Amino acid sequence: MAKQIDVDYVGRKPLFLGILNGSFIFAADLYKHITIPSTISFIKLVSYKGTSSTGTVITAIGLEEDLLDRDIIIIEDIVDTGRTMNAFLPTLEKLQPHSIKICTLLHKPDALQCNLQLDYVGFEIPDKFVVGYGLDYDGYGRNSKDIYQIEE
Ligand code: 5GP
């Protein structure tokens, strides 16, 4: 993925936006392999109920960068239903970046409920709950080096 991003963003100085908490290990590993000039920052997403027309609104905590005209690459641990990203993208678009792409380590195609374009996908997995490598189960398990499926 890093090699592909290097090629796709040559000369563009992208800003990587890691979504906390889940992506912290993947973001670190990915970013170590990026060789083009770029910056990285981390944000936490918080959801709240908007008006009936806006539905669920997701805001970002820790977003201090000026995104105007920047090429943004969101780093996610996992895209499941896609609702989080789908609700967050309009908030990000209001800050007028030049482009937004999504890079996710894991994706559950059978669970996706939104029309969301995922630009870089590490692995497609079945619709099962997984832990490890940054992903948690009730806050635990993020430190596992490998990824496991929770036994039902
Ligand atoms: P979505 O909005 O795409 O349904 O889910 C977004 C968030 O739900 C992910 O960023 C992640 O925090 C959490 N999530 C979804 N599936 C899993 C899973 O299998 N394991 C863990 N640990 N978290 C998950």
Of 8-22, 45-59, 118-132, which gets the smallest average pLDDT?
A: 45-59
- Cβ(77) to ligand 1 under 6 A? yes
- Is the bond leading into 21 cis (omega within 30 degrees of zero)? yes
> Which of 21, 135, 149, 150 maximizes ligand 1 atoms within 8 Å of its Cβ, making it the mutation to test the pocket?
135
Identify residue 34 by its one-letter amino acid code: I
Q: How confident is the model at residue 106 (pLDDT cuts 50, 70, 90)?
A: very high
Assigned CATH for 16-149 = 3.40.50.2020
pLDDT at 46: 86
| Those residues with Cβ within 8 angstroms of residue 51's Cβ, 6 or more apart along the chain or in another chain | none
- Cβ(79) to ligand 1 under 6 A? yes
pTM: 0.94
Residues of the chain above pLDDT 70, percent: 96
Q: How confident is the model at residue 148 (pLDDT cuts 50, 70, 90)?
A: very high
Residue 69 annotated among the catalytic residues of the structure: no
Chain centroid offset of residue 85 CA: 8
Phi-psi region of 52 (alpha: psi -120 to 50; beta: other; left: phi over 0): alpha
Average pLDDT, the chain: 94
Identify residue 54 by its one-letter amino acid code: T
Tokens 């060789």 belong to residue: 35
**H or E, element range at 31:** helix 24-32
End-to-end CA distance of the chain: 31
Domain range annotation of the chain: 16-149
Q: How confident is the model at residue 28 (pLDDT cuts 50, 70, 90)?
A: very high
* pLDDT at 53 exceeding the cut of 70: no
The number of the ligand 1 atom at minimal distance from the alpha carbon of 86 is 2
- pLDDT tens for each residue of 84-102: 999 999 999 999 999 999 9
| Bigger pLDDT: 116 vs 53 | 116
- Contact criterion met (CB below 8 Å) for 100 and 92: yes
* pLDDT at 103 exceeding the cut of 90: yes
CA of 79 to the centre of ligand 1 (A): 6
3-state percent helix, strand, coil for the chain, nearest multiple of 5: 20, 35, 45
The number of the ligand 1 atom at minimal distance from the alpha carbon of 137 is 22
pLDDT at 152: 76
Partners of 91 in the beta sheet? none
The number of the ligand 1 atom at minimal distance from the alpha carbon of 81 is 4
Residues of the chain above pLDDT 90, percent: 84
pLDDT at 111: 94
